[in-house]
Amino acid sequence: QQQVKQSPQSLIVQKGGISIINCAYENTAFDYFPWYQQFPGKGPALLIAIRPDVSEKKEGRFTISFNKSAKQFSLHIMDSQPGDSATYFCAASPGNQFYFGTGTSLTVIP
Amino acid sequence: SAVISQKPSRDICQRGTSLTIQCQVDSQVTMMFWYRQQPGQSLTLIATANQGSEATYESGFVIDKFPISRPNLTFSTLTVSNMSPEDSSIYLCSVDRGYEQYFGPGTRLTVT
């Protein structure tokens, strides 16, 4: 059973546009929600993370929106750039283990 | 953060052989994790390695197939034994710093 459901599987966005990736979970014990960025041939790199006591966290062009009641969280990439083209994974953790989404392949076209 | 290195970065191995993957961290950590990432798939936890104790394996993974060593607080190895083409994957080592988890660059294994 997939603990964290991620969509879409792939996403194509024009340069300068907004990329939005969504994740949903069921386990209310999750209290940490990170996003990872993975380029081909590299390991996943922590991009941004949020805890459920806030509804939004912004770091540069990357924003996490968190809806605790709906058990959903999303990553927004503003002013998307070709260099953002990568695979993005959401994850959730209750503190002792991480559960990853299935990944979203983002392509930003010039 | 944490700086993690893995060796080898990639390898092509024959069916029935074994490969040992090394993971080195730049500072001491209590737990190290081994993940498998099959092509185009998400990350699946293989096992958690604590220094001084037996590794804890996730459902579907067994010690005979994926023996792990953890000789000290900065180093671990994962062996993929008696390999088959289904073992072709990226194998990732990771560590955590509180809630934050950091990954090595991965070892891309192809079994022919």
- Give A8-55 pLDDT, tens digit per residue: 999 999 999 999 999 999 999 999 999 999 998 899 999 999 999 999
| pLDDT interval class at B35 (50, 70, 90) | very high
Of B4, B42, B99, the CB nearest to A100: B42
Chain A residues touching B103 at Cβ < 8 A: 36, 43-45
**What's the whole-number mean pLDDT along residues B47-73?**
93
What is residue B98's predicted lDDT score, i.e. its pLDDT? 78
Q: Does B2 touch chain A (CB under 8 A)?
A: no
The mean pLDDT value of chain B amounts to 94
A72 CB-contact burial (10 Å; exposed 0-12 / middle 13-18 / buried 19+): middle
What is residue B2's predicted lDDT score, i.e. its pLDDT? 87
What is residue A2's predicted lDDT score, i.e. its pLDDT? 77
A31/A45 Cα distance (integer angstroms): 20
Check whether A83 has a pLDDT greater than 90.
Answer: yes
Chain A residues touching B57 at Cβ < 8 A: none
**What's the whole-number mean pLDDT along residues A68-86?**
97
Check whether A96 has a pLDDT greater than 80.
Answer: no
Which tokens hold the place of B52? 């001084």
Residue whose C-alpha is closest to residue A43's, from B87, B13, B4 = B4
**What's the whole-number mean pLDDT along residues B74-82?**
97
Which tokens hold the place of B5? 């290195």
Whether A103 sits inside 8 A of B41 (CB atoms) is yes
Do residues A8 and A21 make contact, with C-beta atoms less than 8 angstroms apart? yes
Compute the nearest-CA separation of B61 from chain A (Å): 16
The mean pLDDT value of chain A amounts to 95
| pLDDT interval class at B78 (50, 70, 90) | very high
